[in-house]
Structure 1
Amino acid sequence: MAHALVVGAGIAGEALAVALARDGWRVTVVEVAPEIRTGGQTVDLRGDSRQVLVDLGLIDEVLAHLVPQRGIAWIRADGSRMAEMPVEAFGGRGLISSEELLRSDLARVLHGAAGAAGVEYRFADTVEQLTDTTEGVEVRFRSGPVEVFDVVVGADGSHSRTRSLRFGPESAYRKPLGLAHAWFTLQEGPGTPLLDGWALSYNEPGRRGLTARPGHPGQQEIGMTFAASTVPRAHDARLAVLDDAFHGAGWRAAEFLAAARTAPDLALDTYDQIHIDRGWSDGRVVLVGDAAWCASPLSGLGTALGLRGAAELAEALRRHGVSAEPTAERIRAAFSSFEQVMRPRAAAAQKLLPGRVRMVAPKTRRGIRANAMVMRVVQAPAFLRVVRFLAGGRGHDDGAGPEPSRPDRSRQAG
């Protein structure tokens, strides 16, 4: 039985593990975190996301976790609205979908399916060394053991350790976009302003943005965006960066800063893209998801690309009969087929709309007002054709609406 190692238990890694295990592979997933990651904001099920989950037979279970959504509104410091876009905009293909769920819920569904398929998990561990042998790839784990695998898949996100070990340092592939984003879950209390199903977006000059989105009952998913190309890794240092970036900011900034200090799922990362021109595979090692092609959370396509990439990689391995005969030649052919399908999709997704960074984090008050005006105007029937032209060819299944105004936060875990 062919043995695959998947590095990273994120959306792409879990989906791939499910597909490979069902195809008869022995699958081991190694994840540096001590358990399945919580946190992450909502992801929608339009396009590729829905179809892959249908093909995996998981769509009904996923739909049971939907978060009620009414739309998104751009607000002033006092909470009054400058513009809004309901879920019905663009025939249901606008910024916010009526079919969205928390990334953590999607991860749990995929993890449950992988466990049912017999996938083996190793948490609080990762790969330390990858060495080619005549039998496969010899993997030394950080915990000490050494094992040989027929295929190694790096699904460990935009900061992929697999990529660093096999393809070189992150600096060779990372393209920072000049923004950073923190996200976490806020527990509602007696005085917490309620959202009533609306995602609220507030901006201040200097590229500072705050968002609050519906989450599980009694919770809100918070986002804090600011100008930065690097962020610290230590927890206390991250809190200090947030305090500095949002000192004196309006709306609910003080409330969010206080909540971030106790949030168990606080995360902070930069908005980056990953470009690997040399190819996504090297021998029996291949990258998938953000490890290979991160389009940045600003694309809003991280989950869809991760799911589709996992499905296409599994299909390529299946089509070339690798599980039955995991030869180097068959593996190379499968990886080549996978990349031929996915590279055009990834390249399209990386082509952000003009002014995308300014849109999510305007620099001036004039820019903030202009962004709100644009969001009102684009919903007019006369502008629908223009919007379709600008958004088309980016990896959407339909291109009917503009890009999501909030980031897709799936990328951390691949």
Structure 2
Amino acid sequence: MTHALIVGAGIAGDTLALCLARDGWQVTVVEIAPALRTGGQTVDLRGDSRQVLVDLGVIDAALERLIPQRGIAWIRADGSRMAAMPVEAFGGQGFISHEELLRADLAALLHDEARAAGVVHRFADTVDALTDTADGVDVRFRSGHYAVFDLVVGADGTHSRTRALRFGPESRYRKPLGLAHAWFTLQEQPGTAGLDGWALSYNEPGRRGVTARPGHDGQQQVGLTFAASTVPRDRDEQLTLLDTVFAGTGWRTAEFLDAARTAPDFALDTYDQVHVPDSWSDGRVVLIGDAAWCASPLSGLGTALGLRGAAELAHALRQHDVQDGASSARVAAAIETFEAAMRPRATAAQKLLPGRVAMVAPKHQWGVRVNALAMRMLQARALLPLVEELAGSRGHEPALPVHVPVPADVARQPAPDGR
């Protein structure tokens, strides 16, 4: 039986694990965190995200986990609105979709499906060395365990250890966008301002942005965005940095800074892109998801690309019958097919809409006002063709079937046109 190691138990990693296990592979997923990660931003079920989940036969389970969404509004310090974009904008293709769920919920769904398919997960461990042998890749784990795999897949995110071990230091591939972002969950208490299904976005000069989005059962998903190309790794230092950057910022910022100190899912990182030129593979080691092509959360396509990339790699391996005999030639041919399918989509997604960074975090007060005006104007009927053209050239194309394996007892559903 062919044996694959997937590094990273995120959305891309567990999607690939599920596909390969259904194809008859023996699959191990190693994850450095002690348990499945929680937190993260809300993700929508449009385009490739929806298509892959439909093809996997898990769309109904995903739809059961939706967060009620009414749209996004840009507000002043007193909470009054400068502009709003409801979920119906652009025919349902605006910034907020009526079909959105928490990243943690989608990751948990895919994780459970992978485990049910026979995937083995090793938490609190990671890879320390990858050595080519005549039979595959000899992997030394941090725990001291050794094993040989026919295929090793790095699905371990923007700061990929797999990429560092095989392709070189992160500095070669990381392209910072000049912003950092903290996110965490806030539990509503008596007196907490509700959101009524709306994502609210507040900006102040100096590239400071504060957002709150609906969550489950009285929870709010909070984001704090600011100008930075690097951030400390120590949590106390991160909280001190946020206190300094957002000192005196209006709206509910002080409340959010207090909540960050006790939030169990608090995380802070920079907004980066990852560009790995020439090839995402080296022999039997291949990268997928953010480890290969991170377009940054500003693209709105990270989840879609991760799902699509996992399905495309599994499909390519199936096309070349790698599960029946993982020769070096078959593995190489499959990876070449995978890259040919995913390179154009990833490259398009990395072309952010003009002014996207300034849109998220304007530098001046006039920029805050212009951004709100632009959000109103973009929804004018006369500008819709231009918006659609710009979006289509940046990876927001209609989804295509990806031919993922699905058990016979799981009914497929067609994806709605254009979704």
Shorter-chain TM-score: what band? over 0.9
Cα deviation, residue 389, structure 1: 2.2
What are the residue-to-residue correspondences of 1:110-259 with 2, within 5 Å?
110-259=110-259
- Equivalent AA in structure 2 for residue 368 of structure 1: V
The whole-number CA distance in structure 2 between the counterparts of 1:81 and 1:95 is 17
- Structure 1 residue runs of 5 or longer lacking an equivalent are 400-414
Matched residues in 2 for 1:156 and 1:198: separation? 32
Whether contact under 8 Å (2:48, 2:398) holds in the other structure is: no
Give the residue type in structure 2 aligned to 1:94. Answer: G
Seq. identity, %: 74
* Equivalent position SS for 2:223: strand
Contact 2:7 2:30 (C-alpha < 8 Å) held by counterparts: yes
> Secondary structure at the residue paired with 1:190?
coil
1:10-409 → structure 2 map (5 Å cutoff): 10-398=10-398
In structure 1, what residue type is equivalent to 2:16?
L
Please tell me the residue identity of whatever aligns with 1:200: L
Structure 1: how far apart are the matches of 2:287 and 2:29?
14
> Could you tell me how far 1:398 is from its partner in structure 2?
4.6
SS in 1 for 2:74: strand
User: Which AA in structure 2 matches 1:119?
Assistant: V
* Alignment-derived partner of residue 410 in structure 2: none
Length-normalised TM-score, structure 1: 0.96
Give the distance between the partners of 1:253 and 1:184, measured in 2 at CA. Answer: 13
- Partner of residue 404, structure 1: none
Alpha-carbon distance in structure 2 between the residues aligned to 1:278 and 1:169: 16
| Aligned residue pair count | 399
- Paired amino acid for 1:247: A
Partner-residue secondary structure (3-state), 2:108: helix
Distance 1:53 1:388 in 2: 24
- The RMSD of aligned alpha carbons is 0.8
Question: Contact (CA 8 Å) 2:180, 2:268: kept in 1 or not?
Answer: yes
Q: How far has the Cα of 1:54 moved from its partner?
A: 0.7
Q: For each residue in 1:223-246, what CA deviation from the matched residue of structure 2 results, as whole angstroms up to 9, or x when unmatched?
A: 000000001111111111111110
Look up the SS of the partner of 2:323 in the other structure. coil
User: TM-score with structure 2 length normalisation?
Assistant: 0.94
Once the two structures are superposed, what CA deviation does each residue of 1:293-351 show, in whole Å capped at 9, x if it has no partner? 00011101000000000000000000000011000000000001000000000000000
Amino acid at match of 2:148: V
Residues 2 and 397 of structure 1: is their aligned pair in 2 closer, same or farther, counting only changes over 3 Å?
same
Q: Give 3-state SS (helix, strand or coil) of 2:250's partner.
A: coil
C-alpha offsets along residues 161-194 of structure 1, whole Å, 9 cap, x if unaligned? 0000000000000100000000000000001100
